[in-house]
Amino acid sequence: MRRRAFFGFMGGATAWPYVARAQQTTPVIGYLGSTSMATNAPFVAAFRQALQENGYVEGQNVAIEFRWADGRNEQLPRLAADLVNRQVAVMFGGGPPAARAAKTATTKIPVVFTSGEDPVKIGLVTSINRPGGNVTGVSILLGEAQAKRLEILRDLIPTARSVGLAFDPDTIHEELETAAQRLSLQLYAAPIKTENDVDAAFASFANHRVDAVFVGAAPRLFSWRFRIVTQAARASLPAIYEQRGYVTDGGLISYGASIKDAYRQAGIYVARILRGDNPGDLPVVQPTKFELIINLKTAKALGVTVPPTLLARADEVIE
């Protein structure tokens, strides 16, 4: 069974002069992504659908130029600068590294982001309710949700004492340290910057004899999900992820906001800005519901018994 994750939003109607000038001809949306089109296909589809539902059809009255870093976040500043030179009407940054690169590249072009980190804490906006400046967007996963995922992992594996943290070093996971201390869990962190780092991370977890794995929220980790899920299975380690794509590909359990809905909301904001809304007046959209997905086939293969309380809370159970 599935229930959809919903986001609420509100906004102002102040005209944005830069966009008004850009709309004298067919406006161009600059799409900046940390990974690749193949990885982001369902999210790009949700983004395009939102644009179309709000009157902007690619190839008719709007164009989209894509720039992909293919997992190399160090390329994002150059790609963002390229979109600025292209004089796009609005720039979209998918994920914190892309969002930061877009914000750094321009103070004039409106920027819409999706972020798995607190957008105020990482400096994207000054306020959730009134972002100010030229940046707004969608916050996919707040710190509290990261801590909640660790709690769910503990509920699933109550005997766990140590957890391997597979994380993108370009993201922040401060909340996990506090949550781990509260749950009396020892975290062993392994940074993953390239796909080959996945193997090294799980080798480190084996050396530390961890009881479970927590995979951090990051676009490029999601792009390497097949390798991550495969390594978890080979090591017979229960792992929790931030989105359902891992679980449908064989992962054990995930908890997080709907990524597709986040990109749909970003598309709505881009359309509103193209119509003249001021990004600084559009509150950052926050998730109001999170999805809990469980793969019982994987649980059986790992010898994990899922507590009835977790099964009852699940939005989707794969059997």
151-176 residue pLDDT tens: 999 999 999 999 999 999 988 777 78
Instruction: Dig out the tokens for 106 from the structure.
Output: 């321009």
Model pLDDT, residue 176: 85
pTM above 0.85, yes or no: no
Cα-based angle 178, 180, 185 (whole degrees, multiple of 5): 155
19 pLDDT higher than 80: no
pLDDT at 217: 87
And the tokens for 253? 């359990």
Q: In whole numbers, what is the pLDDT of the chain averaged over residues?
A: 91
Kindly state the average pLDDT of the residues 274-290: 92
Provide the pLDDT for residue 228. 98
Tell me the percentage of the chain whose pLDDT exceeds 90: 80
7-140+258-287 and 143-256+291-318: identical CATH topology: yes
pLDDT of residue 2: 42
The full set of domain ranges for the chain reads 7-140+258-287, 143-256+291-318
pLDDT digits over 81-97, tens only? 999 999 999 999 999 99
**pLDDT of res. 6:** 41
173: amino acid identity, one letter: H
Residue 306 has pLDDT above 90, yes or no: yes
Per-residue pLDDT, 174: 75
**Domain 7-140+258-287 classified CATH 3.40.50.2300?**
yes
**For the residues 74-83, what does the mean pLDDT come to?**
98
Residue 103: per-residue pLDDT:
97
pLDDT of res. 1: 42
Q: What was the pLDDT predicted at 104? A: 97
- 115-143 residues labelled b (16+ CB within 10 A) or e (exposed): bbbbbeebebbeebeebeebbbbbbbbbb
Higher pLDDT, 244 or 296: 296
Q: What is the mean pLDDT of residues 303-312?
A: 96
Report pLDDT digits (tens) over 182-204. 999 999 999 999 999 999 999 99
Residues near 59 by Cβ (< 8 Å), separated by ≥ 6? none
Of the candidate ranges 8-12, 124-128, 181-185, the one whose mean pLDDT is the lowest? 8-12
Q: Are 216 and 166 in contact (CB under 8 A)?
A: yes
Return the CATH architecture of domain 143-256+291-318.
3-Layer(aba) Sandwich (3.40)
| pLDDT band of 280, cuts 50, 70, 90 | very high
